[in-house]
């Protein structure tokens, strides 16, 4: 059974709309992350959270807002969607937020913005 659940698996949105990507992990981890994989770039780090607090943000746009309602949840809200936002978004987690920990990834949400 997958331990990191991302919903939905596929998402189609129109330009200008807003969507929320869901991520839940059942590994008992304290740190969670978002990564993005687009057609033009390799997997890119976006955000890291530890105990529901933002630790690092490498995303230039404020249109991307993580939301953590529980320690094992880290959703990603994207507003004013653009076609360039089309990508697969991966959620990941690690035991703790430190340099030694290994990241485990979910299956991703493939977002297409028309």
Partner 1 sequence: GEQVEQRPPHLSVREGDSAVIICTYTDPNSYYFFWYKQEPGAGLQLLMKVFSSTEINEGQGFTVLLNKKDKQLSLNLTAAHPGDSAVYFCAVKTQVVGQLTFGRGTRLQVYA
CB of 17 to partner 1, least distance (A): 25
Decide if 75 contacts 23 (C-beta within 8 A): yes
The reply to whether 95 sits near partner 1 by the rule CB under 8 A is no
**Binding status of residue 104 toward partner 1 by CB under 8 A:** yes
Nearest CB to partner 1, comparing residues 55 and 114:
55
Toward partner 1, which CB reaches closer, 69 or 102? 102
Nearer to partner 1, 47 or 85 (CB): 47
Residue 21 falls in which region: left (phi positive, over 0), alpha (psi -120 to 50) or beta: beta
**From residue 73, how far is each of 24, 61, 81, 114 by CA, in Å?**
5, 22, 22, 28
- List the beta bridge partners of residue 78: 19, 64
Is the CB of residue 88 less than 8 Å from the CB of residue 105?
no
Write out the binding residues for partner 1, residues 11-70 only, by CB under 8 A.
Answer: 31, 33, 35, 42-45, 48, 55-56, 58
H or E element: which one contains 99?
none
- Which residues contact partner 1 by CB under 8 A? 2, 4, 6, 9, 31, 33, 35, 42-45, 48, 55-56, 58, 90, 94, 97-108
């Amino acid at each position: 059974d997958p331990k990191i659940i991302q919903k939905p698996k596929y998402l189609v949105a129109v330009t200008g709309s807003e969507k929320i990507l869901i991520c839940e992990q059942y590994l008992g981890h304290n740190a969670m992350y978002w990564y993005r994989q687009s057609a033009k770039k390799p997997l890119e780090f976006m955000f890291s959270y530890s105990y529901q607090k933002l630790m690092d943000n490498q995303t230039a746009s404020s249109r991307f807002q993580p939301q953590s309602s529980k320690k094992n949840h880290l959703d990603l809200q994207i507003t004013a969607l653009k076609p360039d936002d089309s990508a697969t978004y991966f959620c990941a987690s690690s035991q703790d937020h430190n340099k030694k920990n290994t990241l485990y990834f979910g299956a991703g949400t493939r977002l297409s913005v028309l």
